[in-house]
Structure 1
């Protein structure tokens, strides 16, 4: 889509996606992404928070760190 309009990735625009998928790494220009720890989010919700609720306690807040996957769609990996 960008190429149709004369826009070059890295020369004119940088792209970053969210929630890394296998397709993000395999495109013509591999996409830099932010990956949420989905499995850990599920584990924390299913086990940790649910157990707190079942025990009659207020569930605690849980903060999980995302991961930045640098690929060639952003200048962050460029020369």
Structure 2
């Protein structure tokens, strides 16, 4: 419960800082908004996971069925 109270207090502080920050302070605003989002995620109990992005080549096999109308996507099987 103590951690939740700290997060709620931090969220309130961030909201107050954002309310008083001029629109011209773009970098500060972005930083505070990013931290506020992290706090909100923590309050929801979700873990913030950094994406493990990597490139991988894959060979796919199949045949082209056609273009789906309206969706403008290709369909393979």
Task: Output the TM-score relative to the length of structure 2.
Answer: 0.28
Larger radius of gyration: 2
Bigger proportion of residues as helix? 2
**Greater RCO, CA 8 A, separation 6+:** 1
